[in-house]
């Protein structure tokens, strides 16, 4: 039992590292970048009034082929592979992924502007993830913010670099 818990935690970190990497690749704008083409759909989604999922979401279909493929490649595929390698922890994570994606990933948690403050320092939800929608070039992590902190892609880092650059440009103009 203990071993299963340790494995679930270890695989969770690997899974979030994988999804962080794929998401980051999906933000490289290029006409041959297949990931970019399917991911831009996510950045156009408007969430309706209801907190309940659309009926098709229960079947892991997220409105369009591109939007669904984006989720399958970024989050589902590695867990399917894991189920074949290590079925019990793989199955637990796949169950978590299903429930999270169907019930929470929309406006309830991930895209909920009312979730803000200290919790978004640790979890990539609410205001933290919405800053990814505003600024594009930061906050790529899913579930936990860890990988943005490790690879220095948080919104704070991004805005810090941008304002330092603007200050430099202002100075250049003056002299
Ligand atoms: Zn994105
Ligand atoms: Zn989003």
CB of 42 within 8 A of CB of 67?
yes
Q: Looking at the CA of 126, which ligand is closest?
A: 2
Mean pLDDT computed over 40-58: 91
CB of 80 within 8 A of CB of 95?
no
CB of 64 within 8 A of CB of 41?
yes
Q: Who has greater pLDDT, 83 or 173? A: 83
d(CA 18, CA 115): 25
- From residue 58, alpha-carbon distances to 35, 63, 95, 98, 100 in Å are 24, 11, 13, 9, 11
- Whether residue 94 is predicted with pLDDT greater than 70 in this model: the reply is yes
- Whether residue 27 is predicted with pLDDT greater than 90 in this model: the reply is yes
Mean pLDDT computed over 25-42: 96
Q: Give pLDDT tens digits for 103-158.
A: 999 999 999 999 999 999 999 999 999 999 999 999 999 999 999 999 999 999 99
Helix 2-25 × helix 77-85 angle, to 10°: 150
Q: Ligand 2 centre and the CA of 10: distance in Å? A: 25
d(CA 29, CA 95): 33
Confidence of residue 174 (pLDDT cuts 50, 70, 90): low
Q: Ligand 2 centre and the CA of 62: distance in Å? A: 13
Q: Ligand 2 centre and the CA of 89: distance in Å? A: 26
Residue whose pair of structure tokens reads 């929608």 in the numeric block: 133
φ/ψ region of 143 (left if φ > 0, alpha if ψ in -120 to 50, else beta) reads left
Confidence of residue 173 (pLDDT cuts 50, 70, 90): confident
d(CA 123, CA 136): 18
**Residues near 49 by Cβ (< 8 Å), separated by ≥ 6?**
none
Domain spans of the chain? 2-174
Q: What integer pLDDT is reported at residue 170 of this predicted model?
A: 84
Q: What integer pLDDT is reported at residue 175 of this predicted model?
A: 60
Q: Ligand 1 centre and the CA of 168: distance in Å? A: 29
Q: Counting runs of H as helices and runs of E as strands, what totals does the chain give?
A: 9, 0
Of 83, 62, 76, nearest to 22 by C-alpha is: 76
- Whether residue 43 is predicted with pLDDT greater than 90 in this model: the reply is yes
């Amino acid at each position: 039992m203990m071993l299963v818990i340790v494995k679930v935690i270890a695989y969770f970190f690997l899974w979030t590292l994988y999804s962080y990497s794929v998401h980051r690749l999906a933000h490289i704008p290029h006409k041959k970048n297949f990931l970019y083409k399917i991911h831009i759909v996510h950045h156009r989604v408007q969430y309706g009034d209801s907190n309940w999922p659309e009926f098709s979401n229960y079947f892991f279909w997220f409105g369009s082929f591109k939007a669904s493929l984006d989720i399958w490649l970024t989050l589902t595929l590695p867990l399917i592979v894991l189920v074949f390698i290590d079925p019990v922890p793989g199955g637990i994570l796949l169950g978590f992924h299903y429930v999270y994606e169907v019930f929470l990933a929309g406006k309830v948690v991930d895209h909920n502007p009312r979730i803000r403050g200290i919790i978004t320092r640790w979890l990539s939800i609410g205001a933290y993830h919405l800053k990814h929608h505003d600024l594009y070039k930061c906050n790529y992590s899913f579930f936990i913010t860890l990988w943005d902190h490790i690879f220095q892609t948080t919104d704070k880092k991004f805005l810090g670099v941008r304002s330092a650059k603007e200050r430099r440009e202002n100075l250049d103009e003056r002299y």
